[in-house]
Amino acid sequence: MDRFTGRRVLVTGGASGIGRATVLRLLAEGATVVTADVAADGLEETAELAGRAGTGERLTTGELDIADEQAVGAVVGDAIDRLGGLDVLVNAAGMLRGGHTHEFSLELWNRILAVNATGTFLVTRAALPALLDSGHGVIVNFSSTSASFAHPFLAAYSASKGAVEAFTHAIALEYSRQGLRAVSVKPGSVSSGITNHFTEFVPQDVDWSLFTKLLPAIGEGFAEPETVAGVVAMLASEDGKFITGTEIRIDGGTHA
């Protein structure tokens, strides 16, 4: 499949998990990709995997904290220059931390929203002129099932992902007449850099009985990141050309 031949793509969060799987999937379909992340070691691993797959020559990596406004402007600008424009933006970077809400520090609350919500805004804002210039720009943002379904001990994370959904709806309509599409994916019950370390992000005295639904209705457990990457590829390609201003839940029926 070569749905992305000639397409120029920027993916944040490409150092691990779903972000990495998305980078590799889009490269496999012919895209030229720039990916940015805070984790330099993870970016090196992503580049190595692309090299083994024979697609490494179309991948550029760079370090970026998406909550840093000046860094975002510089890195996104450099990515657009390298690519000669931009057709697709995938905002996959994010962070998860949990805790009892009455004990949660304002500093951590603000950091989670700064990365997940404000970071998505900053990268999108920097990329929008180039996406609009392409005439067929696509933005795929990462929300979460936590934006719509109760995930105890994850109040800040849930709030940030709800903000991403609302933001996506707004820009989808705002720029619709200029050919832009914007959509969110809502992963759940998917193995990733976040979920694989979930127990490290919640209180030691967590009441697991509050998580009434943890496993998907289909399959034999959590899905691999490639499952989400396939949906992202569909949404960002011409196969998703009539999908905008909405979100796609990918959770194997966990929240059916």
Which residues are identified as catalytic?
157
Distances (CA, A) of 156 to 69, 112, 159, 162, 164: 21, 7, 5, 10, 13
Diameter of the chain measured on Cα atoms: 52
Q: Which structure tokens are listed for 199?
A: 């127990």
> With b meaning 16 or more CB within 10 Å and e meaning fewer, what string describes 218-248?
eeeebbebebbbebbbebbbeebeeebbebb
CA distance 38 to 31: 22
DSSP for residue 33: E
Q: Give 22's contacts (C-beta < 8 A, 6+ positions apart).
A: 11, 14, 90, 92, 225, 228, 229, 232, 233
Contact 27, 21 (CB under 8 A): no
One-letter identity of residue 115: V
